[in-house]
Amino acid sequence: MKNHCLKLTLLLALLLGAETLLAQSLAMSEGEIMAYTRKWEGERFPDGRPKVPDELLERLKNISLEQAWSVLRSEGYPNQYEQDWQNIHPGEVLVGRVLTAQYMPKRLEVRALLEKRGDKEGRIGDMVSWPIDMLQPGDVYVADSYGKVENGPIIGDNLGTSIAAKSGNGVVVNGTIRDLEGLMKIPGFTSFIRGAHPSYQQEMMLTGINVPIRIGPVTVLPGDIVLGKLDGVVFIPPHLVEKIVKTGELILLRDKFGHQRLRENKYTPGQIDARWSDEIERDFSQWLEVHIDELPVPRSEIQELLKTRTW
């Protein structure tokens, strides 16, 4: 009798455990995302992700990887950069808000549970389309497919077309894609990938959406901001975007002024590379006022900068 009761207890526990697992979501909750990104004090999406303003994202496109990395490092974030990507639109810039996806090698019983969970959440089609269905304008789909090459592409030109339509952006995939020629023809689909392969994803499973993922040395969170240029990508915590933009814009202006004065032979390289004298700082302020409508920085920001000058 005792053994029979014990078996019933164990069976009930297993059933309750299975129900609990099915009740869990593939995506982090709004509260969990807010906890991970608690340093952000601005607007958020309904899913909890920080909503960095579009105006800041547009200005971020002019900031160099070096400028962004320098600020991140000084703020205690030294592991936000990954290099050696293939940019399928060479020379173009990728900026947007991160929506993450985590892939792992397929394990039958785990994938079966994940598919049941997806069905319960009302998700449609194959797993690879689930994160894409959640994209918002200005998002960047960032997926860790663990560098899988053959039978590893999680995106082709059909899914790429949907991604571009929903987000207006491309992707960052820590793995391969297929239909590279077709993806390259999609306007604005600036994307960073590890490579391309004619096969399609097999023996893989999607284990999380909008969860922390690892891209090289970087821990990427949903709501981070991507800045991708040349063959490098920086992932920026949302609360640091404004500081990076304003610091980068100041450096951009100072570099533009310095290069012009060097071409004019007004100052020596030693004078420009060293801490500027009061004379050069005054010259810089006057140059800003004269060229205020020609510079790649908003007029309002330059006017604010001029107010901080004390000479």
Instruction: Per residue of the chain (311 residues), give pLDDT as tens.
Output: 555 555 444 444 433 344 444 447 799 999 999 999 999 999 999 999 999 999 999 999 999 999 999 999 999 999 999 999 999 999 999 999 999 999 999 999 999 999 999 999 999 999 999 999 999 999 999 999 999 999 999 999 999 999 999 999 999 999 999 999 999 999 999 999 999 999 999 999 999 999 999 999 999 999 999 999 999 999 999 999 999 999 999 999 999 999 999 999 999 999 999 999 999 999 999 999 998 888 888 888 888 877 766 44
Q: What is the DSSP letter of 275?
A: P
Q: Which CATH number fits domain 31-236: 3.20.10.10, 3.50.30.40, 1.50.10.20, 3.30.420.40?
A: 3.50.30.40
Can you point out the beta strands (E) in the chain? 81-82, 86-87, 94-105, 139-144, 171-177, 192-196, 204-209, 213-215, 218-220, 225-229, 232-236
| Joined tokens for residue 161 | 């077309």
What predicted TM-score, i.e. pTM, was given to this entire model? 0.87
Closest CA to 58 of 236, 227, 238: 227
Domain ranges of the chain: 31-236, 242-307
Rounded CA gap, 254 and 267, in Å?
Answer: 14
